[in-house]
Structure 1
């Protein structure tokens, strides 16, 4: 599996304790609020002379119809990812928060977009 795929699996496991109805690989067709949509598929090379490395951009979007609860859930997500250390087949070098913002479409639910940058080295040398 790709670095992004392995990271996405590890993040989904780390978010199991967050009080949401589900963690989905992208926006679900139907889901009860609050839920998480996760995407860790944007990768670029972060290797070195003798090893394979990847920089993976992670987009986590929390959806909810209650803004106060949404902020608390975003805090839970950040706390869960602070403890993330193991990614199958990869050494997680850094997991850096890039930005966090809350937005709302006038006719829709609230969304907390939380973006991370992960830098990883392959353990399979």
Structure 2
């Protein structure tokens, strides 16, 4: 299985503990009730050594909210950071070696939507 798909499945498991969201998606959901989380995009590069097959993933998790202000989205963003940086374990032949927050930012638009984007660097190793 692809390292990217294995990591996405681990992310869904880790993010399922984030309270207050209606769902976790891997693309723009149709008719989802806000707030919700979207995983992606995910850029994967080689991170192999002489003895191990590894991948580095640069990915984002976006919390979408339709409420006024940014407080709720920032709260969800903090819970996402906690869940992702604490990730450990294996799935589908890949294990998380490290998870690091790169940056987070909040955007709002004139229609009242708020996006709280959290970007991470995760490294995985294949269980051979």
Same fold, TM exceeding 0.5? yes
Pairing 1:86–2:89 present: yes
2:105 corresponding residue in structure 1: 101
- Report the TM-score, using the length of structure 2 for normalisation: 0.89
CA–CA distance in 1 between the matches of 2:65 and 2:82? 19
- Select the residue among 97, 101, 126 that pairs with 1:122: 126
User: Offset of 1:107 from its aligned partner?
Assistant: 2.3
Whether contact under 8 Å (2:86, 2:99) holds in the other structure is no
- Select the residue among 58, 75, 80 that pairs with 1:77: 80
- Report the TM-score, using the length of structure 1 for normalisation: 0.91
User: Offset of 1:55 from its aligned partner?
Assistant: 0.5
What's the secondary structure of 2:16's corresponding residue? helix
- Runs of 4+ with deviation above 2 angstroms: none
Cα-Cα RMSD: 1.4
CA–CA distance in 2 between the matches of 1:74 and 1:82? 12
2:21 corresponding residue in structure 1: 20
CA–CA distance in 1 between the matches of 2:112 and 2:26? 20
User: Offset of 1:119 from its aligned partner?
Assistant: 1.1
User: Offset of 1:58 from its aligned partner?
Assistant: 1.5
What stretches of structure 2 of length at least 5 have no aligned partner?
Answer: none
What stretches of structure 1 of length at least 5 have no aligned partner?
Answer: none
